[in-house]
Chain A
Amino acid sequence: MSQTTNESPVEQFTTSLAEIEVDWTTTGLDDIESTLTALIESPAVGVELPIDGVTLPERVETNPDPTAIRTATTGVTPATLAIADYGSVVLESDPNGSELMSLFSGTHVVVIEESDIVGSMAEAFEALGPHLREERGDAIVATGASATSDMGALVRGVHGPKHVHIVIIES
């Protein structure tokens, strides 16, 4: 967990990501498509990003069937919030299947806007409280890859993704 206070939220966030061994890329709005193209390994599934003027690369299936979801190598979904202290991203469920596509693929590519990074868990819950009360939605605070130590040593990639890659869109 990052402790340095004079860093910007995005710097703190990436410091935390390094600590938990999660890769990230920062990119401008204009380069998002090429950034994603470079990160995606087919077969890929995903959910369109809620950012004006941005579409996912064509290789990403945005209307997959259950088999495509279960067998995808890459899943691309947006995060609504990131927590700098922990390197966490907040993933919400929606009828487009974000929860499924972030969970079943081998690599999860998470897209977050820099302005949605908050510093602490307390700040995150200040936003999550009203949101969950009003929308009655679902939010996964996801930190790193899925992992287990139940088999005698730390192994990444259990029921959820083995790799997580965070794409930060600069404001």
Chain B
Amino acid sequence: MSGKTSKRAKAAKIREILDTEGAAIETNTQGFNDDRYESVANLENYEALKDEARAIKEDAIERLPELIEELTAAVEANGGTVYLAEDAADANEYIESIAKDADADSVAKSKSMTTEELDVNEHLESAGVDVVETDLGEWVLQVAEEAPSHLVAPAIHKSRAEIADLFEDHFDPDVPLETAEDLTNFAREQLADQIADADVGMTGANFLTADSGTMALVTSEGNARKTVASADTHVAVAGVEKIIPSVEDLQPFVELIGRSGTGQDITSYISLLTPPIDAPTFNGDRLGDPDDREFHLVLVDNGRMAMREDDDLRETLYCIRCSACANSCANFQQVGGHAFGGETYTGGIATGWEAGIGGEESAEEFNDLCTGCSRCTEACPVKIDIPWINTVVRDRLNRGEDPDTFDHLVTGLTPDEEPAGLDLQKRFFGNFATVATLGSAFAPLSNWAAAAPPSRWIAEKLLGVDRRREMPKFTRGTLRKWAKGREPPADPEREVVLLADTYTNYMHVERGKAAIRTLEALDVEVHVADVTESGRAALSQGMIETAREHAETVADALEPHLEAGRDVVMVEPSDLAMLRNDYRRLLPEEAFDRLSTNSYEVLEYVFGRLENGADLDALADGDGEEIAYHSHCQQRTLGLAAHTEAILDEVGYDMVTSEVECCGMAGSFGFKQQYYDVSMAVGDDLREQFTTPETEDRRVVASGTSCHDQLTDLLDRPATHPVELIAPEEE
């Protein structure tokens, strides 16, 4: 398969990372994520600040060429120089020339992802200049000769004990180093002299303001300050996207960046430097003249100007590298950046950065770890649609594939809009609606066939469906058929069209029936749409054109219903998220707006009916039954978990809720052989929460189909959809 890692090899690599780095990564990222929730909750105008931050970045990237000129003029007026480097080689050569001009033997460096991107250290070392990383995490990695596993906390995959062992092996210290304090003191002492001796101080820049030539550095250790203050020559290396118009524009970012990343309200130091800085130099045994300080700004393009022209990748340039998208990602929390990351960048947004800098192939190995669960989108301080960037790059990778020898097997069986060489696994899961239609028609024969050992083996070999997973069971007879010819309520208050998704129509038909009974009990006449597939399955595999076809079919099929004044109701949150959000990218604006504003999740709709005076007593009584409820990831991003919880509570259930970002199944992700282990590791947190003494006997309730499948595999109790808990019995 064109030199790519096989599914089995990938599974093995992920397994190893889970075993060696998983525990430290999980503790640290989940700690950051919990602290983020707490810290942003204390920020009154959080949403407004995000909007402001986003607007500033949109404007800055739009006006970038002009801002580069303005910044250059400002820096030069301040007494510095500016070099615009086209690519890594160009930047490195220039940086080397500065080191040579300064007669430098050594460079002290504060943490900078952009210099990692350029491999500046390697370049300088090969030119005979020593480089020392001064951020403790980066220094640990320099000693260990490892790559960062996280944007902000690069050594997050290493435990305290591992760092102690590393120092023990490498430095053989006189006294044993045990506590974090011991390790910190030891590192500080090792670094103090090296920083003092360095001839050049190198930093990145979190932001650059065009109006004054000021750079903002966000740190906590004080190493950036020391790096700049100690050497007479300061070099700052920054991507061109770091430029914003004015000093005042820094404010929202200063308030958001620490909270979003590590959950600190603010980091210890926000350095606003307008270099060369005004401090005296260290000149041997006396202080020297501040005017002796030199400053060189290296602005790096390296693919960024082209990203700016790319309608789908452009948003990546708004990224402030806070790490929220990684910390809030259920998969990242298990595997970290060594699996979920490329050459330089890590987490969900790494796909955008790596693809923009090194081409789509640079994101190929890890891109599928983004399941599109969307939990990162509300965490991102600049509101980047990170899942979309992953989907687009996946689509481009699909299209770039060589034709595949198995292709004749699927031609005709799964007609779609995708290129001939598309990976069979993607094609299978992306066209699940077609598979489901056939499966349902042949049930129970198809279930028996899917469960029989040879078939599971074939499914794993050919499609990469993990044999430990049980495929969802088809039912003979669909929801649509069941609903046909039902007697509508005599004098309905409202009419809705139920868009029964693939699962609800063909497999979990019971929840569809419950949805219809519930709506009817609240005086709603229900029509079942003639269409099932929203396009979610295809979109999740990066099959954008196929997803668009589905979106258009859905829009056409629902049009007469909308014309008749009916609301659209859906059971499956991931399909609702298509209509509410993703169709923005797939349909003309007007069609999108219409579907988006008129579609509802079933319990959201019930909530609305009750608010408008419908009779709660028409619903089943919870009677104090103890339940454990897990809301769906996309449901939470849509802000809809609360509706379900309120109703379950209202009708009298005694409820506890889960506290995880995602169940780990995420559509078809957990079925895939290469990701089974990650999926189960993610699910483990949910399993733990639902098997405590307080929860182990509770009935499990979940809103998403894939959460159902996952919960069924994790626990030995079945899961029920909330609508089945409130649906009245059939009369």
Mark A residues whose CB is within 8 Å of B.
1, 3, 64-67, 69-70, 86, 88, 92-100, 103-104, 121-122, 124-126, 128-129, 132-133, 136-155, 157-161
Contact partner, B278, options A94, A146, A152, Cβ 8 Å: A94
Mark B residues whose CB is within 8 Å of A.
42-44, 77-78, 134-137, 140, 153, 155, 159-161, 163, 179-181, 183-184, 187-188, 191-192, 195-196, 209, 211-214, 220-223, 225-226, 229, 246-248, 250-251, 254-255, 262, 265-275, 277-280, 282-287, 289-290
Given A133-B211, A160-B269, are A138 and B278 neighbors across the interface (CB < 8 Å)?
yes
**In the bound complex, CA of A136 to CA of B275 (Å):** 8
Given A129-B246, A137-B278, are A97 and B212 neighbors across the interface (CB < 8 Å)?
no
Contact present for B285 and A67 (CB under 8 Å) = yes
Given contact pairs A155-B181, A157-B188, enumerate 6 new A-B contacts (beta carbons under 8 Å).
A65-B287, A99-B277, A137-B278, A138-B275, A141-B272, A159-B223
Given A125-B248, A132-B272, are A148 and B220 neighbors across the interface (CB < 8 Å)?
yes
**In the bound complex, CA of A136 to CA of B180 (Å):** 39
**In the bound complex, CA of A129 to CA of B274 (Å):** 12
Given A138-B271, A141-B272, are A148 and B225 neighbors across the interface (CB < 8 Å)?
no
Name the residue of chain B whose CB is nearest to the CB of A134.
Answer: B212
**In the bound complex, CA of A151 to CA of B166 (Å):** 12
Contact present for B268 and A150 (CB under 8 Å) = no
Contact partner, B280, options A92, A100, A138, A152, Cβ 8 Å: A100
**In the bound complex, CA of A46 to CA of B192 (Å):** 21
Contact partner, B229, options A94, A99, A122, Cβ 8 Å: A99
**Which residues from chain B contact A136 at a C-beta distance below 8 Å?**
77-78, 212-214, 274
Name the residue of chain A whose CB is nearest to the CB of B44.
Answer: A3
Contact present for B160 and A151 (CB under 8 Å) = yes
Given A3-B42, A150-B140, are A97 and B287 neighbors across the interface (CB < 8 Å)?
yes
**In the bound complex, CA of A95 to CA of B229 (Å):** 12
**In the bound complex, CA of A99 to CA of B273 (Å):** 11
Given A148-B220, A155-B180, are A121 and B254 neighbors across the interface (CB < 8 Å)?
yes
Contact present for B183 and A100 (CB under 8 Å) = no
Contact present for A126 and B269 (CB under 8 Å) = no
Given A1-B42, A129-B248, A148-B184, are A103 and B268 neighbors across the interface (CB < 8 Å)?
no
Contact present for B286 and A66 (CB under 8 Å) = yes
**In the bound complex, CA of A140 to CA of B226 (Å):** 12
Given A95-B278, A147-B268, are A103 and B290 neighbors across the interface (CB < 8 Å)?
no
**In the bound complex, CA of A116 to CA of B187 (Å):** 37
Contact present for A97 and B280 (CB under 8 Å) = yes
Closest CB in chain A relative to B713 CB, distance in Å = 34
**Interface SS of B by simple majority:** mixed
Contact present for B274 and A137 (CB under 8 Å) = yes
**In the bound complex, CA of A103 to CA of B228 (Å):** 12
Closest CB in chain A relative to B494 CB, distance in Å = 42
Closest CB in chain B relative to A160 CB, distance in Å = 3
**In the bound complex, CA of A146 to CA of B268 (Å):** 6
Closest CB in chain A relative to B613 CB, distance in Å = 37
Contact present for B223 and A150 (CB under 8 Å) = no
**Which residues from chain A contact B212 at a C-beta distance below 8 Å?**
132-133, 136
**Which residues from chain A contact B136 at a C-beta distance below 8 Å?**
148, 150-151, 158
Closest CB in chain B relative to A22 CB, distance in Å = 11
Contact present for B226 and A95 (CB under 8 Å) = no
Contact present for A100 and B229 (CB under 8 Å) = yes
Closest CB in chain A relative to B246 CB, distance in Å = 6
**In the bound complex, CA of A125 to CA of B246 (Å):** 10
Among B159, B160, B192, B214: residue with most chain A CB under 10 A: B214
**In the bound complex, CA of A100 to CA of B280 (Å):** 8
Contact present for A146 and B272 (CB under 8 Å) = no
**Which residues from chain A contact B270 at a C-beta distance below 8 Å?**
140-141
Name the residue of chain B whose CB is nearest to the CB of A95.
Answer: B290
Closest CB in chain B relative to A128 CB, distance in Å = 6
Contact present for B278 and A125 (CB under 8 Å) = no
**Which residues from chain A contact B250 at a C-beta distance below 8 Å?**
125
Closest CB in chain B relative to A90 CB, distance in Å = 9
Contact present for A159 and B134 (CB under 8 Å) = yes
Contact partner, A66, options B160, B161, B285, Cβ 8 Å: B285
**Which residues from chain B contact A158 at a C-beta distance below 8 Å?**
136, 184, 188, 220-223
